[in-house]
Amino acid sequence: MLDRMDESLQGQLLIASPSLLDPNFRRSVVLVTAHTEEGAMGLVLTRPTPAPVDEAVPHLGHLVGDGERVFLGGPVETSAVTALAELTGGVEPALHVFDGVGFLPAELDEEIEAAAARTRVFAGYAGWAEGQLEAELADSAWIVEPAQADDVFADEPEQLWSDVLRRKGGEFKLLALMPDDPTVN
C-alpha cells in the first residue's frame, strides 16, 4: 500500500519533523533500509550509544575506527546487532540499501572485510507495519531526503538532523536552526 508515493523509500532518509515528539525519533534521521507494501525498516543514524564497538561487539571491532561506538538503530529488537558498510571494488553487500552501502553478512570473509571502506554497527532497528509509514508521512511526521553515504557514516551524528535539513534547502534551512528546546528561543 504505497499509495502516497509510487516507489519504495529504500535508500532515502526520514528526517523527523518538529511535530514528531516520540523520544525514539525526536530530531532523528533514519535511513530506510527496506520499504515494501508489507511495511518498512530503517536505522536511526543519530543515536550513538556510549558502548565502544570493540567492547560490545568484539568480532566487528576491527572493521570500525578506534573508539567508534555502537549506534541505537531503533526501538525494535535492541539486542540484535547489524552492520552497515560502504563497500568498494564492486563487492556487493549481503543486502543492498543504496549505492555501495548495505548490510554485512553474519559470516564475514576476507573479500568483504577488505572491501569495507567504512562500517557502522547498530543495535536494534526501526520498523513500520503495512501502511504505518505512509500514514506518518501523510501526517507530516517525516521529511524525506535522498541518502548519501556520508550521512550513514557522519563524523558528528548528533548534528546530522540539522545538516541534512540545511542540505535540503529552502524552508528547511530555517528549520535546521530550530533549537532543541524552542522555549529557549
Q: What is the pLDDT of residues 59-80, one digit of tens each?
A: 999 999 899 999 999 999 999 9
pTM: 0.91
pLDDT at 176 over 50: yes
> Which of 66-80, 99-113, 127-141, 151-165 is predicted with the least confidence, judged by mean pLDDT?
99-113
What average pLDDT does range 33-37 have in this prediction? 96
Which residue from 19, 44, 5 is spatially nearest to 133, judged by alpha carbons? Answer: 5
Q: What is the CA radius of gyration of the chain?
A: 16
The Cα 32–Cα 44 span in angstroms is 9
CA 99 to chain CA mean position, Å: 14
Q: pLDDT digit string (tens) for 75-121? A: 999 999 999 999 998 888 889 999 999 999 988 889 999 999 999 99
What average pLDDT does range 152-162 have in this prediction? 96
Strands 29-36, 101-103: pairing kind: unpaired
Name, in order, each residue with C-beta under 8 angstroms of 155's C-beta and a sequence gap of 6 or more: none
The CATH homologous superfamily for domain 12-176 is: VC0467-like (3.40.1740.10)
Which residue from 11, 7, 154 is spatially nearest to 95, judged by alpha carbons? Answer: 11
Residue 107's pLDDT is: 87
Residue 140's pLDDT is: 94
